[in-house]
Amino acid sequence: MTPGELAEVLGEPPVPEGTWEREARYVSAVPLRRCVPAEPLAERVRALDGVASVEVRGKGFLRIVVTEPGELLEEEPVRVPFEPGWPDFPRTWDNPGFVVRYGHARACAVRRWARQLGVPEAGFRPGLLDDPCHRRVLRVLAELPGRLGSREPGWESYLLRLALAYHDAHERASAVPVGDEEPGPVHIARVRLARVVGDVLPGPDRL
């Protein structure tokens, strides 16, 4: 289940909620804002493949849990329509411009290494992105559709959060085979994540 598929039923993208480390949750206030009955809309969302549960809370909030958060990577990624004016130097972790550009460069490097090591592009299994570090990246990516339609998207803080989450995942779980390890489905999933992050974050392909 992707944010785009949920938006088709809701009329607008839902907002991710929580950390996603245990479950991937979205919330939507469409019934409240548009003065439509919440339960019929909830029933339409429950009928979608990939939706684990939908609760109606308060006066019209829907709380939606999806089974496979990694499925959001199946949507076409969109580059953020904003180029921060951060300086290139110093190239240290104190410079958000370096953090973001290095995140893009790292994601591009993963794609190059994957090609060299024979990691196929086909066979993506979203359920393999189930460890906490990758779920944190997915959680930030899930904000993108809503921010694209917002008057105050807060792109600088968003890009920095995405880059930091990706750096953590990159360092904790190799996206490509190590040593004598053979390419497998987990590498396909992690390389797919790298591709999407690289498409969203701005920066040069190499630093």
pLDDT for the residue numbered 142: 97
Residue closest to 85 by CA, chosen among 97, 99, 100, 95: 97
Strands of the chain, DSSP E: 15-17, 24-28, 51-57, 61-66
pLDDT of residue 52: 97
- Nearest-CA neighbor of 128 among 188, 174, 182? 188
**pLDDT for the residue 100:** 96
Q: Are 25 and 63 in contact (CB under 8 A)?
A: yes
Q: What is the DSSP letter of 26?
A: E
Q: What is the pLDDT of residue 78?
A: 80
Parts of the chain with a pLDDT under 70? none
